[in-house]
């Protein structure tokens, strides 16, 4: 058995679903208000510790561009209503006391 203890980065998970929309399949993301600042903090910690190479699509005329970035991974579940899931990544510990001094 593993000693791993999951320490979520967000107080409430981000929910997403892929659904049929006006322009085909669309990704819909819901971020609870309580999790927004925590998510921004987590994104900055990812930039500081886990950047990697990838590419972005700039449109038919411009093609793709190789760049540095981060990945957000989530397990997708499927139901009769479409594909859905939640995102609540493992908290990145920096070893720095992050509490405000007052």
Average pLDDT over residues 48-66: 93
Q: What pLDDT score was predicted for residue 17? A: 94
Backbone dihedral angles phi then psi of residue 28, each to the nearest 5 degrees: -115, 125
C-beta of residue 84 within 8 angstroms of C-beta of residue 76: yes
In a domain, 86, yes or no: no
Q: 67: domain range? A: 14-73
In a domain, 9, yes or no: no
DSSP code of 92? P
C-beta of residue 58 within 8 angstroms of C-beta of residue 65: yes
In a domain, 43, yes or no: yes
C-beta of residue 13 within 8 angstroms of C-beta of residue 87: yes
CA-nearest of 45, 43, 65, 69 to 55 is 65
Q: What pLDDT score was predicted for residue 19? A: 87
| Confidence class for position 80, pLDDT limits 50, 70, 90 | confident
In a domain, 22, yes or no: yes
**Whether residue 31 has pLDDT greater than 80:** yes
What is the Cα 9 distance to its own chain's centre?
10
**What domain count does the chain have?**
1
In a domain, 99, yes or no: no
In a domain, 1, yes or no: no
In a domain, 58, yes or no: yes
């Amino acid at each position: 058995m593993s000693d791993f203890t999951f320490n979520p980065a967000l107080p409430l998970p981000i929910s997403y679903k892929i659904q049929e929309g006006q322009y085909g399949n669309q990704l819909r993301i819901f971020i609870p208000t309580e999790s927004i600042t925590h998510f921004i903090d987590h994104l900055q910690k990812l930039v500081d510790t886990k950047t990697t190479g990838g590419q972005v699509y700039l449109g038919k005329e411009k093609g793709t561009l190789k760049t540095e970035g981060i990945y957000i991974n989530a397990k997708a579940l499927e139901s009769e209503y479409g594909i859905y899931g939640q995102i609540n990544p493992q908290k990145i510990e920096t070893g720095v006391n992050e509490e405000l001094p007052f």
